[in-house]
Amino acid sequence: MSDHYETLGVSKDASEADIKKAYRKLARRLHPDVSPGSEDEFKRVSLAYDVLSDPEKRRNYDMGGGENGQAGPGAGFGGFSDLFETFFGGGGGGGRPQPASRTRRGKDALVALHIDLETAAFGGNADVQIVTANVCDSCEGSGARPGTDITTCPTCHGAGSVQQMARTLLGQMLTNQTCPQCRGYGTIIEHHCPNCHGDGRVRAEETITVKVPAGVRDGNRIQLSGRGEAGPGGGPRGDLFLEVIVEEHPVFERDGADFRCTLTIPMTAAALGAEIPLETFDGEQTVEVRAGAQTGDVVRLRGLGAQQLRRDGRGDIYVTLSVETPTALTGEQRELLEQLAGMRGETQPAGRAGDRHSGPFSRLREKFAGR
């Protein structure tokens, strides 16, 4: 487990102000927008600040709890005083609860990312517009009017709670209640920042450029660490999740790592064979149509499909042929076709219907019927 104090570069008796100052200095230097490739280190710094800026989490961490500030295995019902405090909210010799922290981690955000098929298949950059919460520039997240200080609550003297006498089945008991003046924070913002009204954050609309990995599909999510909403009180940002929505392409359909399309060709090209140009994402390619091609025949163009996500290699393009019969013939064209029909003995075509009884199962039935 990493040492949060060492991560932020502060001593174990550092004040809340020293911890916040150290975090802001590191966050500006390690933010992924400023220093690409520092996402992991930025997350460690954010976690350290999240724990050490919260008095309860910091106390748990100092007492050997988990790196997220959860209570350690020795916490819980450690004695009569702990049990008493659990049921009666304090007193009985137990210590007062710690004041709440104004600094909290920001929320994660989920935004739709619309991209075209080419970007999804081969990767690239895409712009996305988001509405988020940013740290207030005027008060730097404190919530107090610039030039003023956050003062200690005169009612609870910074404890965040006040003790009251209450009648119980066991007689009169001293209980801890959330301080009504500071609402449990232990401090009071007497003069709120006029820009953020004391929240330490302001709403903002911005456009960010996202690097889309090659091979993403509809419904995939891209996580951007530290790009979610800023936390209250100057807290660390949450994460931003982008849900990929791939727009339809006018020619190609995606089938895994393959592309599929339909190519309409003239009747003469189908009969005689031809080389038909097809514009792909790799430029113009040639579709080899064999002589006598029929509607529904498929031509495969190898290695021209989509890039596979986090894997080497590309899929293929499958071109389904559709033979077009001419509908508006000139007199000369009609005469030529009639001559061809005569030469092929097709002036009175009988056609050929498919025999639905000629399949393998019908032959199997005939075999057993003859026994």
Nearest to 22 by CA among 6, 34, 35, 37: 6
| Tokens 């922290």 belong to residue | 101
Q: How many CA atoms lie within 13 A of 274 on its CB side?
A: 17
Distances (CA, A) of 37 to 7, 22, 29, 221, 314: 18, 21, 12, 19, 27
Nearest to 110 by CA among 214, 240, 200, 4: 240
Is residue 261 a known part of a binding site?
A: no
Residues forming a β-bridge with 125: 211
Q: How many CA atoms lie within 13 A of 37 on its CB side?
A: 0
What the block records as the tokens of 357 is: 């009884």
Cα–Cα dist 160/187, whole Å: 8
In contact, 222 and 216? CB cutoff 8 Å: yes
- The DSSP letter of residue 264 is E
Nearest to 228 by CA among 135, 132, 140: 132
Cα–Cα dist 295/188, whole Å: 78
Cα–Cα dist 334/93, whole Å: 108
Which residues make Cβ contacts (< 8 Å) with residue 324, sequence separation at least 6?
264, 265, 266, 267
Which residues make Cβ contacts (< 8 Å) with residue 333, sequence separation at least 6?
326
Residue set of the binding site for Zn(2+): 136, 139, 153, 156, 179, 182, 193, 196
Residue set of the binding site: 136, 139, 153, 156, 179, 182, 193, 196
